[in-house]
Amino acid sequence: MGIVTVKRIGTCVLFVVVLLTAVQPAHAIPAFARKYGLPCSACHQAWPMLNNFGQTFKDNGYQLGNDRDAPIYQQPAYWPIMFRVTPQWHRENNNRVAVDKVPGSGSSGLVESGVTSSGFDLNGIDIVTAGTLSKNISFFVQPFIGNGSSTALLQTWVRFDNLLGSRWLNFKMGKFELDEPISQERILTLSNTGGFYSNYFFTPPGDSNFFTGIGNYQLGVEASGHSDNDYTRYSVAVVSNSNGQTGLPSNQAYDVYTNFNQGFEIPGLGLQRVGVYGYFGESPTYFQTRGGTPIPGTGTGNRSFYRAGAYGQWYFRKFDFQTFYEHGYDNVFLGNSVAANQPSKLPVGAVGPSWNGGFVEAHYTYNPRLIAIGKYELIRMSRQANPGIRGNSGDLDTWTIGYRWYPIMNPRAGLAWVQEYSRIVNAGTAPISGKDDISNSYLMGFDFDF
């Protein structure tokens, strides 16, 4: 063994030692941590992903069940608010974008070309204010300030907790994230192609369903409940068929979402959880119009659709896997974007589209301050709405790898360094050739809240 080799080994060992020394357990996260004095890692496996203690806290209406729950017992200066910002550098590449053959000449015709962009960027600012209005009445308000002048009210709800003195009866009203199998709101990835669950937002090619996925915030009411240790959970939501848009844009129909899951212990491995869910609804296929323009809220000719499936969360000490399966179906009128009062416009052989999808997301939690992430997701069309559509059009494969490192956590703030790479292949959706459309994202940056 030569001197150079020994030096290299020494350098590597030193690097590992420095890294492991630096990676100490996480401490705090704002808002609720300030209220209860608990570390962020108490509620989050890795922020923002919840562990069972955090899920229990959330299901209790952001209450620990002690004398600090009601705001009357807080210091007058306490303000339950949090900001989240993600300054980053990212690179986006798409292999088939329709561009003018001659740049600047709109009449030169379109061709497909690879397009790459990169640079420093911001996603905007998430603002969250949440907590309790009094014992057993909780609230959540989440405005979002985007780049430029865009703003949005992502969530606003009030929840009455432990009704009739029972954890099994809680009632929420407003705009909220559905009790999703794996929370989209708490996803660990941020990149353009990997920062969301594609299954939660999937619509088949040519489909005009007003509802675009369980990943959207919805407007409605929710009844939910859970056991003392949160191993058994249920939720039933009745929401307007508005896809979460305010101002009654759709119709007067209501959709139903339900989720049930059960946790169980496997000695030596940890808490496992399995569940089933379903979203069942009706969407309008046409609107009353004025001058040919649809009048919001007058949607009619409702036709049915559903999304249903099963999922699991599997823990093997520091490893965990999240598995998700979904089957989706839209009525033939929705799938072909044809008004229900004009059935003659349906293509010959038209049927309601259906598909299957799922994902596996794996994490290795070295400690609360360092987590590695890998995710693979796919969607397969099992039946196209229009027999003229290629069988695999709409099929999707996407994977993401990355890690989050939380070098700074204190009672007022948390900061994560994030690096991830993701790739998505949309089968047969290239705008001109109909070939596979492939996008890549690389992102590195900070994700911090305070």
Q: Per-residue string for binding with another protein, 325-364, x by CB under 8 A? A: ----------------------------------------
Please classify residue 100 by burial: count the beta carbons closer than 10 Å to its beta carbon, then call 0-12 exposed, 13-18 middle and 19+ buried: middle
Closest Cα partner for 239 from 229, 226, 228, 252?
252
Instruction: Supply the DSSP symbol for 286.
Output: B
130 forms part of the interface with another protein (CB under 8 A): no
Of 154 and 372, the one with the shorter C-beta distance to another protein is 372
68 forms part of the interface with another protein (CB under 8 A): yes
367 forms part of the interface with another protein (CB under 8 A): yes
Of 233 and 375, the one with the shorter C-beta distance to another protein is 233
71 forms part of the interface with another protein (CB under 8 A): no
Q: Which stretch binds another protein (CB under 8 A): 164-172, 300-308, 328-336, 421-429?
A: 164-172
Q: Which stretch binds another protein (CB under 8 A): 123-131, 160-168, 430-438, 439-447?
A: 160-168
| The binder of another protein chosen from 30, 55, 138, 203 (CB under 8 A) | 55
* CA dihedral of 20, 21, 26, 27, whole degrees rounded to 10: 170
Name the helix (H) or strand (E) containing 308: strand 303-316
- Residue 266: both structure tokens together: 């496997």
Q: Which stretch binds another protein (CB under 8 A): 266-274, 332-340, 356-364, 414-422?
A: 266-274
67 forms part of the interface with another protein (CB under 8 A): yes
Range 88-127, binding another protein (CB under 8 A): none
64 forms part of the interface with another protein (CB under 8 A): yes
# residues contacting another protein (CB under 8 A): 41
DSSP per-residue string spanning 53-112? HHHHHHHTTS--SSTTSSGGGS-TT---EEEEE--EEEEEEEEEEEEESSTT-TTS-EEE
368 forms part of the interface with another protein (CB under 8 A): yes
25 forms part of the interface with another protein (CB under 8 A): yes
Q: Which stretch binds another protein (CB under 8 A): 97-105, 267-275, 281-289, 428-436?
A: 267-275
Closest Cα partner for 160 from 211, 118, 223?
223
76 forms part of the interface with another protein (CB under 8 A): no
50 forms part of the interface with another protein (CB under 8 A): no
Of 37 and 146, the one with the shorter C-beta distance to another protein is 37
CA 332, chain centre distance (Å): 28
Q: How far is the CB of 15 from another protein (least distance, A)?
A: 16
372 forms part of the interface with another protein (CB under 8 A): no
Q: Which stretch binds another protein (CB under 8 A): 98-106, 142-150, 187-195, 225-233?
A: 225-233
Of 24 and 419, the one with the shorter C-beta distance to another protein is 24
- Residue 424: both structure tokens together: 């998505």
| The binder of another protein chosen from 104, 119, 165, 292 (CB under 8 A) | 165
Q: How far is the CB of 179 from another protein (least distance, A)?
A: 17
| The binder of another protein chosen from 30, 31, 32, 38 (CB under 8 A) | 38
Q: How far is the CB of 408 from another protein (least distance, A)?
A: 13
52 forms part of the interface with another protein (CB under 8 A): yes
Sign of CA dihedral 47, 235, 283, 200: positive
Closest Cα partner for 381 from 226, 223, 199?
199
| The binder of another protein chosen from 70, 221, 256, 271 (CB under 8 A) | 271
Structural Rg of the chain based on CA atoms: 24
Instruction: Supply the DSSP symbol for 182.
Output: S
Which residue's structure tokens are 């080799």? 5
Closest Cα partner for 141 from 75, 202, 81?
81
Of 254 and 366, the one with the shorter C-beta distance to another protein is 366
Q: Which stretch binds another protein (CB under 8 A): 38-46, 123-131, 301-309, 335-343?
A: 38-46
Range 178-207, binding another protein (CB under 8 A): none
b/e 315-339 (16+ beta carbons within 10 angstroms → b): beeeebebbbbbbbbbbbbbbbebb
Phi, psi of 238, deg, nearest 5: -115, 120
Q: How far is CA 264 from CA 180, 267, 394, 437, in A?
A: 19, 10, 37, 41
N- to C-terminal Cα distance for the chain?
51
**Cis peptide bond upstream of 48, omega within 30:** yes
Residues 6+ apart with CB under 8 A from 391: 381, 384
Give the residues lining the site for another protein (CB under 8 A): 1, 6, 9, 24-28, 36-39, 41-42, 52-53, 55-56, 64-68, 136, 162, 164-167, 228-230, 265, 267-268, 270-271, 367-368, 410-411
